[in-house]
Structure 1
Amino acid sequence: MNSSQSSLCVRSLICHRHVEMALTCLGSLVRFSTQPLRLVIHDDGSLTKEDIARFEGELPGTRVLLRAEADERMDEGLQNYPEARSFRSRFVYGLKLFDIPLLSEGDIAYCDSDILFLRPFFDLFCLNDPKVSALFMIDTQESYSLAPWQLLGAAFRLPSRVNAGLIAMRKSAYDMDFIEQFIGRARFDNYAYWAEQTCYAALGYQAGCRMYDPDQVVLVDSAASITEQAVAGHFVSMRRHLLDQFVSASKEEYQGEPVAVRTVPPQDCKVFELTKLHFRRQLGRAKANVLSRLKPVTS
């Protein structure tokens, strides 16, 4: 994947509930990219005929890959990987971990449906450095589904604070044998919705990764997170209510030159930091359980 002006295929996993948001956000991706993009939408199994018609009509050139077709192709692709097959059947984000890379014809370019682009840009999916095989966003915390002690003496390491909302990865760096072993060794009992992200982080550490500059590609925490430097904002579920504040601006004609998307080197995920977050989460769970028991029972 380089910075040439040939059309680049970008994939996204979409559910019916997020169609409206996806049309807005992916539309902004296509509109502001100086490199021509074509979209492939991966159906999580909930898209309707009307949803498909909207994607094809409102985002010209978009192709929708139905869940049934993907299941058939992945049954064959994962036949020698029992851990991967089990993971894909248990977690819907297994489609993002396996279908997106394995069904990509070339290098992997992925964008979540809740990332809104705000200005013209280039080099978002650029992997010109031969030492770098993957690009990820920077999260606000260690959003991993591993317990801290699983990193002690482990055969794998994690970069700090990987967010897999936006991914560029060399196809040659996507190592199914490594992922199969990783899934077999890891336990995803806690925060299973981060399991796919944890796998991508481990794979990125092994392959060599960099992170998008967080001033440009922002994981939104508040409205103030979006500054003049911002190229895109990732409005994750807890911050999605902020998205509407920026949609109108993203649809206006931007007055300014396209900017190159920068990257920064990753830090290592430290057991101590993961431990602090782990106990904070456990404390939050315990507090929620106590409060739920204190609620008055209504007749």
Structure 2
Amino acid sequence: MSLGSLYLKLQQKFGHGLDTAYYRDYVRPKILETRPIAETGDYSCEIHVFTSARDFINLMWGLKSFYHYSKKNYALCIHCDQSIGDEELSILKTHFPQGNVVPWSEAMPKVMEWLKAYPLCTAVRKERVISVKEFDFLYYLNSDRMLLFDSDLLFFAKPDHLINIIDDQTYNLNSVNGDIETCYSLDTETLRSLVDFEVIERFNSGLGLVHKAALSLDLFESFLALPGILNHKWRFEQTLMALASCRYGAELLPVEYDVYLGKDLNKLMPMRHYVGEIRHLMYSEGMRQLTKQGFLRELT
């Protein structure tokens, strides 16, 4: 190994400090030793998440911390990308035995057949994997209410407001966490000029309640026809979900659910969304805090 390669390897492992390396490489796998989430049969709401071989252990921390602190047993559907192999599938099915763990090889032909009357949707699903969060989520959704859930979430306490609006059958808005800033594939004013409804700022598709009635292939096909909607390789997904939600009726979750980039965990927040720029804090801060709270011990 060259000195340059060695330096890069050490930088990747220890670049965010020894604490990060310890919690990422030693503590993080301990979630595999915890007991399964045996009951996820409440179809008043269904959690949908898209994950990969790189992220699925982080997802297990997120899901198990949510189920543990919320005391809910909402239904679960885990969508797997092509990197998820037999070993990862087996682990996910073991830890979430009532969940619907969907392999890529199963989803692809079914969803593509379903989309065949929608050429724009078909093209996007073929070319942009992240569009699973629109098309596959809707195809496999077995509830009138869906909880969007990313692989980089951790929960530290019961998310009272989120649970309350999910369980309130009179609540009829889509509600998601607020992003650091507005991240759409087009600027908000341009989007507003292209549609006949208000488009809210800072919509983040990583966590939130979405009503099935807000989503349809007809809508997605019409939004994909908007000029410039695919300008960004991944923000388009969040833009599609934001447009569908805003047309239906949408608001942001309270500030304690917002994405933020600070280093210190806000003790008033029941959860944190560890987006890419702060992913290392998911280990050195988030998993450290959960371990300190006795989370692993309580699930073992």
Q: TM-score range by the shorter chain?
A: 0.7 to 0.9
Q: Kindly provide the CA deviation profile for residues 51-83 of structure 1, in whole angstroms up to 9, marking residues without a partner as x.
A: 111112234433310112111221222122111
Q: Kindly provide the CA deviation profile for residues 148-198 of structure 1, in whole angstroms up to 9, marking residues without a partner as x.
A: 663363224421110000131111221322221111113245332100000
Which residue type is aligned with residue 41 of structure 1? I
State the distance in 1 between where 2:239 and 2:98 align. 32
Which residue of structure 2 aligns with residue 124 of structure 1?
162
* Residue of structure 2 aligned with 1:89, choices 126, 145, 169: 126
Q: Which moved more, 1:36-45 or 1:233-242?
A: 36-45
Which residue type is aligned with residue 237 of structure 1? G
1:218·1:232 contact (CA, 8 Å) conserved in 2?
no
* Residue of structure 1 aligned with 2:48, choices 8, 11, 25: 11
Which residue of structure 1 aligns with residue 282 of structure 2?
243
Q: Kindly provide the CA deviation profile for residues 187-215 of structure 1, in whole angstroms up to 9, marking residues without a partner as x.
A: 24533210000011111110001211122
Which residue of structure 2 aligns with residue 113 of structure 1?
151
* Residue of structure 2 aligned with 1:42, choices 79, 90, 113: 79
Q: Map 1:1-299 to 2 at 5 A.
A: 6=42, 8-106=45-143, 107-122=145-160, 124=162, 126-127=165-166, 128=168, 130=170, 132-147=172-187, 150-151=190-191, 153-156=193-196, 157-215=198-256, 217-224=257-264, 226-244=265-283, 245-251=285-291, 252-253=293-294
State the distance in 1 between where 2:188 and 2:69 align. 40
Which residue type is aligned with residue 155 of structure 1? V
Which residue of structure 2 aligns with residue 282 of structure 1?
none
1:42·1:65 contact (CA, 8 Å) conserved in 2?
yes
2:78·2:102 contact (CA, 8 Å) conserved in 1?
yes
Which residue type is aligned with residue 243 of structure 1? M
State the distance in 2 between where 1:101 and 1:133 align. 17
Pair 1:149–1:171, CA change in 2 (3 A): closer
Q: Kindly provide the CA deviation profile for residues 229-273 of structure 1, in whole angstroms up to 9, marking residues without a partner as x.
A: 11110001111011111213224348xxxxxxxxxxxxxxxxxxx
1:220·1:239 contact (CA, 8 Å) conserved in 2?
no
State the distance in 2 between where 1:221 and 1:149 align. 26
Pair 1:104–1:114, CA change in 2 (3 A): same
Secondary structure at the aligned position of 2:49 is classed as strand
Q: How many residues align?
A: 248
**Displacement of 1:135 after TM fit?**
1.3
**Displacement of 1:140 after TM fit?**
0.9
Unpaired segments ≥5 residues, structure 2: 1-40, 296-300
Which residue type is aligned with residue 287 of structure 2? V
State the distance in 2 between where 1:38 and 1:155 align. 34
State the distance in 2 between where 1:250 and 1:37 align. 22
Q: Which moved more, 1:188-197 or 1:133-142?
A: 188-197
Which protein is richer in helix relative to its size? 2
Unpaired segments ≥5 residues, structure 1: 255-299
Secondary structure at the aligned position of 2:93 is classed as helix
